[in-house]
Amino acid sequence: MELRQVRYFLALAEECHFGRAAARLHVAQPALSQQIRHLERELGTALFHRSTRHVELTEAGRHLTGYARTLVTEAERARVHMAELAAGRAGRVAVGFIGTATYDVLPRVARTVRAELPRITLELRGELLTPQLVDGLLTGAYDLAVLRPGAAAEGLSVTPLRSEPLVAVLPSHHPLAGRNEIPLDSLAGEPFVIHPSQTRSTMYDHVLSACARAGFQPPSLVEVGETATLAVLVAAGHGVALVPRSVQSLRLDGVTYVPLTENEPVDLVLCRREDRDSPALLQVAAVIERCAHA
């Protein structure tokens, strides 16, 4: 049973007149009659009572009408969905975010996709470390990943998103918390709360390299995996920290963010597998690029 035959059947069932049904379908009446006969032979039953004056559905024809309408409706839904997939307006895209991009880029992306691409289903994961994100891209767990550069892998495409300075995270009662900006060496001698060591987080290297350029090494380090936990430990007085400026969107009682007099930038990039380029993925990638610059 072909979809064309189903459409012909429905037109005749609704018009109950071969001439009007053929005109509605923009086909010759003999072609319509032939297709209806083929459908009846295929189904093994008459679908219409025909006379010289009128056409009406048989009992089998009445039963087929419901199925036929469902088939045509589902076919149209499939056609529209395929068109949306082809245009990148529908689909499913999984995106992972480095911890320090979780608080500003992730919510912007979620809001923008929901408003502009409501038929795309997003799977969002935040507070991840760069190695987790790279592994997730390679295994297919993530289609896109927002991370810090430095952990490139073969087969990944990298798009720069932005560069932003490091800022100091201080307990609100810290003597320097009221300053408009501070030199980094003013934190020499302070214990540092920091993201995990090199094999797990690129921020570890960024922070210690910045301290070295300022002429000191923190006397002690408290390593934590999540940016939110880092801020909580600073608020509790376990030390100070350096984070990208965008982390200031994470508001927490007991914490003050203070700019540095030095410019210590860290970069953010968008990664995907070179062999992954579905229209929906590319649409979401474009949204991420916009949101990262907002």
- Predicted local distance difference test score (pLDDT) of residue 83: 73
Low-confidence ranges of the chain (pLDDT < 70): 84-85, 87-88, 151-152, 198-200
Give tens-digit pLDDT for 19-71. 889 999 999 999 999 999 999 999 999 999 988 778 999 999 999 998 988 88
Taking the C-alpha atoms of residue 240 and residue 177, their distance in angstroms, rounded to an integer, is 11
- Predicted local distance difference test score (pLDDT) of residue 1: 80
- Predicted local distance difference test score (pLDDT) of residue 186: 97
- Predicted local distance difference test score (pLDDT) of residue 119: 86
Angle between helices 18-25 and 3-15 in degrees, nearest 10: 130
- Predicted local distance difference test score (pLDDT) of residue 109: 96
Contact 206/190 with Cβ under 8 angstroms?
Answer: no
- The two most distant CA atoms of the chain are separated, in Å, by 103
Contact 97/146 with Cβ under 8 angstroms?
Answer: yes
Which phi and psi (to 5°) does residue 244 adopt? Answer: -60, 150
- Eight-class DSSP state of 93: E
Contact 141/287 with Cβ under 8 angstroms?
Answer: no
The pTM of this model reads 0.70
Domains and CATH numbers, the chain: 3-87 (1.10.10.10), 90-162+268-293 (3.40.190.10), 164-266 (3.40.190.10)
